[in-house]
Amino acid sequence: MKSGYATRIQTIVIGGGQAGLATGHYLAKRGLPFLILDAGAQVGDAWRLRWDSLRLFTPARYASLPGMHFPGRGDAFPTKEQVADYLVEYACRFRLPVRNGVRVDRLWQKDARFVMTAGKQRFESDNVIVAMANYQVPRLPMFARELRPDIVQLHSHDYRNPSQLQKGGVLVVGVGNSGADIALEVAQSHPTWIAGQESGHIPWPIETFVARNVIFRFIRFMGHHVLTVNTPIGRKLRPKMLHRAAPLVRVKPRDLIEAGVERVPRVAGVKNGLPILADGRVRDVQNVIWCTGYEHGFPWIDLPIFDEKGDPIHDKGIVKSLPGMYFVGLNFLYSMSSATLIGVGRDAERTVNALTRRLRNRASAVQPWPVPVCSEMSDEGATQEEKVYLVNRDFDASEASVESFTRH
């Protein structure tokens, strides 16, 4: 039998990226007590730790989260650092109670309360919102481990820039947006092959004046208002889009050819330590970059809410079979824009509205939960590093009750 202390609060949001922060914004606006738990060392890390040259493929005018304008020109494509800084600024502006460095390793239910552990820490809440995109755990084929040890192999998740590669050829595996971006970059210094077939591409160059100011309005309209679970075409396309790479947005197949990147069929396995292609050719390369996507990685959720493919069963983010449980940020949660900066704010608001309705119908709604207050500290004039520090230390334990528990 073990004893310890649990932090109890009405709502816990797991994930402090854009999905968790947008959700926190609406929870704070309603005056509800909550806490955001995030595995990253600091707010914005999901963006900051992506490859160095990454820029958004969506213009800044569609990158604003609810309540705070994304700075700069609306038709610019922000860098990943600018997005990360914006998220830090956002958490500071709304004084969101983010606890960084807390990776939830198990979520389950006991006596109608949700219980979470993160190492030795334990949290309990009436409501849980899992707020994160599907891009949590890099997906690698099983045969990746059979590659010769002298071949440098990286997943796009760990790729930063070409200096991580050794001399010689590079095989980029996967022709999604990551694969195409990275192949174009490494082709400047290495002979490069890209394996696989893209699932379509946007036929216009996105950096032109017309694309930034006209075409993107159309793309946004389609992805945000037409391709949703409320329209027949959205419902028809959703199952395909859940498990398929998105079409290429910035890089076109022609750009790859012009940059000297050779297109080859998909990688079928490994032979004598080298990648073998679907047409039987073996590629003698010195580097392999796996741009093979991600899993949502939810084995830590110990609740009966998944279908046979391992996807959470929800209706626009609401888990109907388990009152109090919600998702925000997943692919096509409500619309094609759901997992992007364009759509996450709208989903966060709908989820918090649903949660508020649930609270109204429950006794807990009248319990005197304290209103969250982050701290009296001012972030005015603080540097970016100081702001990160303020966000991370801003959670005030007085918002949550700390109670002892006994585990059998």
The residues of the shown chain that bind ligand FAD, judged by CB under 6 A, are: 14-20, 37-40, 45-47, 50, 56-58, 102-104, 132-133, 135-136, 178, 300, 329, 339-342
Closest to ligand FAD by CB, 206 or 277: 206
- Least distance to ligand FAD from the beta carbon of 168, Å? 25
- Least distance to ligand FAD from the beta carbon of 248, Å? 12
- Least distance to ligand FAD from the beta carbon of 127, Å? 16
Partnered with residue 99 across adjacent β-strands are 37
- Least distance to ligand FAD from the beta carbon of 148, Å? 28
Alpha helices in 298-373 (DSSP H): 344-360
- Least distance to ligand FAD from the beta carbon of 345, Å? 11
Secondary structure of residue 358 in the 3-state scheme: helix
Q: Which residues of 279-301 are buried (b: 16+ CB within 10 A; e: fewer)?
A: eeeebebbbbbbbbbbebebebb
- Least distance to ligand FAD from the beta carbon of 132, Å? 4
Q: Which distant-in-sequence residues (6+ apart) come within 8 Å of 170 by Cβ?
A: 183, 186, 190, 191, 192, 193, 285, 286, 287, 288, 289
- Least distance to ligand FAD from the beta carbon of 4, Å? 19
Question: CB nearest ligand FAD: which residue?
Answer: 17
Closest to ligand FAD by CB, 102 or 171: 102
Closest to ligand FAD by CB, 314 or 359: 314
Closest to ligand FAD by CB, 217 or 281: 217
Closest to ligand FAD by CB, 56 or 261: 56
- Give the rounded distance of the alpha carbon of 32 from its chain centre: 24
Closest to ligand FAD by CB, 132 or 151: 132
Contact 30, 18 (CB under 8 A): no
CA angle, 349 then 22 then 393, to 5°: 140
Alpha helices in 307-361 (DSSP H): 344-360
Closest to ligand FAD by CB, 120 or 360: 120
Instruction: List, as one string, the DSSP characters of 167-235.
Output: SS-EEEE--SHHHHHHHHHHTTTS-EEEES--S-B-SS-TTSHHIIIIIHHHHHHIIIIISBTTSHHHH
